[in-house]
Amino acid sequence: MPELPEVETIARGLSKRVTGDVIESVWLGQKKEPLKTPADVMAAALEQTRISAVRRMGKHIVFDLDRLESAPRMASSANGKRQDHALRKRPRANPAALKQQANRGVPGTRAQWIVHLGMTGRLQVCDPRAEVEKHTHAVVKLRSGREVRFVDPRRFGRLSVATSAGFDATGIEPLEVDVETFIHLFRGRRTPIKSALLNQKLLRGVGNIYADESLFRAGIRPRRRASSITRDQLAKLRQAVKQVLQEAIALGGSSISDYVDADGAEGFFQLQHRVYGREGEPCLICKTGIRRMVIAGRSSHYCPRCQR
């Protein structure tokens, strides 16, 4: 499963390649699972828009889309205006309103295409002549002649569209959270700190590997109750989380799973894990054997001496 640093790397790669390009047409496959928004609604929302940005939110990749002035799907003006007015009163669009709005095609409206890669999802930017891989669920044709393709053999990935209200991932960005907010998030919790770090409603996008690595750097055992951790230790943990994620982003995400970067090139450099996946191997600091335990169904790796 791609974690935050991989998703950040992929989003940056996509941003470099497709920002400013225009989506001319969209093909969506027959499989239902990847589509959280109905195919016709998604296609209508994407076609004839300019990609103004590609960025990461949590573990989602968000394409910001601006509808073009010359949109051929533009609805008749009187009808369009009335719907626009009705929608403004209801910013949280229900599916019917979403459909109306997506199909409306009014110039200047904004939408977002949201991609979650799941376990095995990949986004490729490629030449249209490149062979279409098995398990391709979406092909987005760009004005530049290239295509963005979504390929996902196991189909845990998700594609959706958000309109005017905008996409709102839960939780707080771990790279942006300040000390007080971080302490406030974890201070009162009775769950193990490892579970709290993985709770996407608190911080978004911190996965298993980076949670273990952060706890090691902060000297905190994964099973410790969050509520028993001091403010100073929490401040240290926040630093560790940021550091670990930033180092991994600098390396291009660690290569654990089956995905490729936006060019389709395989292989990221791997952050050297200090505890993750090193059960039985000596701690890099004190030489004690690294231990593994299961917390909330996930493997946790730690040094029994360096982490308390």
Catalogue the active-site residues.
2-3, 59, 298
Q: Of the two residues 250 and 286, which places its CB atom closer to Zn ion in the complex?
A: 286
Q: Interacting stretch for Zn ion, rule CB under 5 A, among 30-38, 80-88, 164-172, 277-285?
A: 277-285
Count CB atoms within 10 A of the CB of residue 78.
Answer: 8
> In the set 86, 179, 250, 285, which binds Zn ion (CB under 5 A)?
285
> In the set 31, 187, 305, 308, which binds Zn ion (CB under 5 A)?
305
275 binds Zn ion (CB under 5 A): no
Q: Are 84 and 103 in contact (CB under 8 A)?
A: no
Q: Interacting stretch for Zn ion, rule CB under 5 A, among 45-53, 106-114, 237-245, 283-291?
A: 283-291
250 binds Zn ion (CB under 5 A): no
303 binds Zn ion (CB under 5 A): yes
Phi, psi of 198 (to 5 degrees): -85, -10
114 binds Zn ion (CB under 5 A): no
Q: Interacting stretch for Zn ion, rule CB under 5 A, among 105-113, 209-217, 240-248, 285-293?
A: 285-293
306 binds Zn ion (CB under 5 A): yes
Q: Are 66 and 18 in contact (CB under 8 A)?
A: no
Count how many residues are written for the chain. Answer: 308
Please report how close the Cβ of residue 100 comes to Zn ion at its closest, in angstroms: 59
Q: Of the two residues 148 and 303, which places its CB atom closer to Zn ion in the complex?
A: 303
- Measured on CA atoms in the order 22, 24, 26, 27, is the torsion positive or negative? negative
- Conformation bin of residue 208: beta by default, left when phi > 0, alpha when psi is -120 to 50: alpha
d(CA 214, CA 240): 5
Q: Are 218 and 240 in contact (CB under 8 A)?
A: yes
286 binds Zn ion (CB under 5 A): yes
DSSP 183: H
Residue 62 bridge partners (DSSP): 55, 114
Please give the residue whose beta carbon sits closest to Zn ion in the complex.
283
Residues in contact with Zn ion by CB under 5 A are 283, 285-286, 288, 303, 305-306
